Amino acid sequence: MVLRIPLPNIECDVDSDALLPTSFGDFRIRVRVDSLGNENVLLYIEDNNSNITPLVRIHSECLTGDAFESLKCDCGSQLHAAMKQIQDEGAGAIVYLRQEGRGIGLAEKIRAYRLQDNGLDTLDANLALGLPGDDRSYEFAAKMLIEIGYQQVRLLTNNPEKLLGLENNGVKVLKREPHITGVCELNKGYLLTKASRMGHLMENI
C-alpha cells in the first residue's frame, strides 16, 4: 500500500518571496504550490501606485514562446509586454501558472505542433490527440491575487474565460484591457483560430 501525503492548497516556504530585478524594472517574485504540486509564480510590484486599480496578467507557462521566442504563438511577446506595462503604470502583477500548452503539458503540445505542421489548426490538433482544446483553471490565480490584497483588478487579456475564472473566485474585474501583441505571419493562423473558434476577443488581427 502506497502512502499518499496530501499536497497543500496554497502553501510554500514563507521565504519564497524575494526581490527580482528585471530589464523592465524591479518586481517581487513569490512561489506558491497548488494542489497538484505545481510551483506557480506571482510577479508583482511591492509598492503599488494606490491611485490606480492594479493591472493584472494571468499567463500560462509556454516554454517555446517565453524562453525560446517561438513565432508559432504570441506568448513570449505577451509576457514581456505585460511586464513593461505593469512597470510603466506602477501597480500590478503577473500570475504565471504552470499550465503548459493550455493545460496539456509540454510533450503533448509538441505532438500537437507536429499535427499543425501537417495542416491542422491549434484546436483540431489537440482534439485529434484526444485532448481538450483548453484544460486550464484560474481558481489558484485568484487565490494568489487575494493573498496580496488584490480584490479588484484590471485584467490584461483577450480571453473571457480568464475574466470569469477570477470573478467566480472572489476577484472583481473592473475592466478588461485588450492584449494583442507579437502578431506575425507565422502565428496569424493560430490567433485567428483562437478568435473564431475559441471565443478570444481579438479584433483587427
The catalytic site residues sit at 134, 136
200: left (phi over 0), alpha (psi -120 to 50) or beta: beta
| Closest C-alpha to 38, from 79, 95, 78 | 95
In order of 107, 108, 109, 119, 201, the CA distances from 129 in angstroms are 12, 8, 10, 14, 26
Residues listed for the chain: 205
Q: Both ends of the chain: CA-CA distance in Å?
A: 55
* 6 contact partners, CB below 8 Å, separation of at least 6: none
| Closest C-alpha to 94, from 105, 106, 84 | 84
Distance CA 176, CA 157 (A): 7
